[in-house]
Structure 1
Amino acid sequence: MMLIPPIIQPEVLFREFYLTAVARYLGAAGLAALLYDHALTIGDEIRLIWAAPRSFLKWMFLINHYLSEVGLIVSANEMSGLNDLSYDDRRCRKLMIAIYSYCTVSTAAANAIGFFRVIVIWDKSPRVMLGLSIALIATFITTLLCTIAALIILHSDIHYNPITQICFVSKSTPAAIILWATPLAFEIIVISFIAYNALSLPRDHRTPLRRILYRDGMMFFVAVALSRGLNIAFSVVTEPGLVLMLI
């Protein structure tokens, strides 16, 4: 006996398709921009990163760099609706577990890069190393606990929509918000250390402040902080299509 789907209001259906399209196109745009940037910088990466001696910072950079690309490729494929994979609620829940796990590892790698950058800028100051180490460990533990809590709380609210052919989360949770707010707080600490160091350095008119900030990687960490803030905004919103943009 075939089940007859319930009647859906046209405006509700339109909104579902609209939010799904927004998530898909933004995901595709983000992936295209990331791959294009990688193509432009692959020469410098081979010369400066791959040829460098083995170190923890080198591996953290490579893990974060390539994990981001792999994560976006998998996410774009899963959300595209163009593959032949069959989905149900169970598969969507496994996908969300993989995505949240990927976000946790990627966030930890990005935080480690910020940690070592500040340590180098401050000439391995013991006080800075101690304070930033405590902040880094606290950030990782909080992020990990919030990831586990969010997956447990949202597990029964992760579904597959056969109409829009996409996985979605039907609600938000404070754990998901804290999950992004914690690394944002760490990025603000990193930015503060970089800015304070740049302002305290002696310089003349031939060395503008913006050049020092650019040299110390301020633009990168500001961009990361803005992305964290955007993730917080999407976590607050309960629209399923917008929640998907966290990926």
Structure 2
Amino acid sequence: MAGTATSAVAQALRLHHYLYLAPLTFLYWDHLLTFGDEVRYIWNRPKTASAYCFLLNRYLAAFGGVAVTVFSYHEIPESWSDPCPDFNRFRQILLIVNQVTVCLLLTLRIHALYGRDKRIISGMLGLGAVLLAVSIWAASRARGTPQRGEPGCNIADSRHVAIMIAIPWEAVFVYDVMIFFLLSYKSLHMQRDSSLRWAQIPLLTLLMRDGSIYFALMAAVNLANILTSYIAPPLLVSCLSTFASNLSVTMMSRLMLNLHAIESAGIFSTRTRCATESDEYEDELDTLRTEDLERSMRLSQMSTPIS
């Protein structure tokens, strides 16, 4: 029985490590793929508020991932076992900070999309403040038990601790759902009330450009991560948190690069001219598309200056 238990622990830890390293590799690989665009559209241009926001989102996750990886896979002396729960809480808080950063940037995007409506930004920030307070309260009470006998700092979370860990991610899920509905409403509203040219654009194209499908994807990933806190064994609680966080950071970085490729104001820009295969139309720059920037530049080259 002891051998079986040891084998189960080893398998759980191995799976947890795979689920951590795979999205981390994805984050750095995408960073390398888009670094040329980062130099072209961020470093080689005058720095704007949007550029600094991009760098914060990009490098907080990158450097934080290095710190967590070094500590996670370093052999920790027995006398250092007690700091493991604190390290685990730090890791969870870092992931939540990454998510909060993404949420704030997307809140600014929604603010621009809705014509800088103060009611929209006030409502979003108010809800965000409540969710953040609840998240900090829950994270401060999430203290698991170190798993001894294995390299690194591995935490086994009781069901109570697992629920505390899930609360911040549930808060992110609620915020994602709110943004999803705001973007979906804006897409439907523009298609219904705009000219015939808008009505001829497929709804799916509008949703892709407005980013609703992106948010639906992120909400699904967050929901899957939340479920691990309720159904997964202690060593696999919140095992998808790194995947959820790195995916959101990566997609946010690509969004901002796409915006900077078109206009230096980036995430704060409000209007541009976009082109379709058959026509050209003018509307708010609300795209969250994630296709290659080369195609984005072809679209921008088809644009004409705004009068």
Summarize the Cα distance change of 1:112–1:166 in structure 2 as closer, same or farther, 3 Å threshold. Answer: same
Q: Distance in 2 between matches of 1:160 and 1:14?
A: 14
Partner of 2:65: 72
The size of the alignment, in residue pairs, is: 231
Does the alignment pair 1:143 with 2:138? no
CA deviation after TM superposition for structure 1 residue 85, in Å: 4.4
Please say which of residues 64-73 and 34-43 is displaced more in the overlay: 64-73
Does the alignment pair 1:13 with 2:6? yes
Q: Distance in 2 between matches of 1:242 and 1:231?
A: 10
Tell me, yes or no, if the aligned pair for 1:160 and 1:166 is still in contact at 8 Å. Answer: yes
CA deviation after TM superposition for structure 1 residue 192, in Å: 0.6
Tell me, yes or no, if the aligned pair for 2:89 and 2:140 is still in contact at 8 Å. Answer: no
Q: Distance in 2 between matches of 1:244 and 1:180?
A: 9
SS class of match (2:30): helix
2:158 to 171, 185, 208: 171
Cα deviation 1:84-103 (Å, max 9, x = unaligned): 54354213123113213312
Q: Distance in 1 between matches of 2:215 and 2:55?
A: 17
Which amino acid in 2 is paired with 1:178? I
Summarize the Cα distance change of 1:133–1:84 in structure 2 as closer, same or farther, 3 Å threshold. Answer: closer
Tell me, yes or no, if the aligned pair for 1:104 and 1:144 is still in contact at 8 Å. Answer: no
Tell me, yes or no, if the aligned pair for 1:158 and 1:170 is still in contact at 8 Å. Answer: yes
Which amino acid in 1 is paired with 2:20? G
Tell me, yes or no, if the aligned pair for 1:20 and 1:166 is still in contact at 8 Å. Answer: no
Summarize the Cα distance change of 1:170–1:131 in structure 2 as closer, same or farther, 3 Å threshold. Answer: closer
SS class of match (2:140): helix
Structure 1: tracts of 5 or more residues without a match: 1-7
Structural mapping, 1:81-120, within 5 Å: 83-86=74-77, 88-120=80-112
Partner of 2:39: 46
SS class of match (1:161): coil
Partner of 2:199: 204
Please say which of residues 97-106 and 219-228 is displaced more in the overlay: 219-228
Q: Distance in 2 between matches of 1:89 and 1:237?
A: 27
Note the aligned Cα RMSD (angstroms): 2.4
CA deviation after TM superposition for structure 1 residue 216, in Å: 2.5
TM-score by length of 2: 0.67
CA deviation after TM superposition for structure 1 residue 129, in Å: 2.0
Tell me, yes or no, if the aligned pair for 2:145 and 2:157 is still in contact at 8 Å. Answer: yes
Summarize the Cα distance change of 1:172–1:60 in structure 2 as closer, same or farther, 3 Å threshold. Answer: farther
Q: Percent identity?
A: 19
Which amino acid in 1 is paired with 2:236? L
Cα deviation 1:13-67 (Å, max 9, x = unaligned): 1111111110111211111111111111122233334436432x54444323222
Q: Distance in 2 between matches of 1:61 and 1:184?
A: 22
Structural mapping, 1:216-235, within 5 Å: 216-235=210-229
Tell me, yes or no, if the aligned pair for 2:88 and 2:155 is still in contact at 8 Å. Answer: no
Summarize the Cα distance change of 1:48–1:218 in structure 2 as closer, same or farther, 3 Å threshold. Answer: farther
Q: Distance in 1 between matches of 2:104 and 2:97?
A: 11
Summarize the Cα distance change of 1:244–1:135 in structure 2 as closer, same or farther, 3 Å threshold. Answer: closer
Structure 2: tracts of 5 or more residues without a match: 243-307
TM-score by length of 1: 0.82
Partner of 2:304: none
Which amino acid in 1 is paired with 2:108? F
1:195 to 181, 184, 205: 184
Please say which of residues 191-200 and 139-148 is displaced more in the overlay: 139-148
Tell me, yes or no, if the aligned pair for 1:143 and 1:183 is still in contact at 8 Å. Answer: no
Partner of 2:236: 242
Tell me, yes or no, if the aligned pair for 2:183 and 2:212 is still in contact at 8 Å. Answer: yes
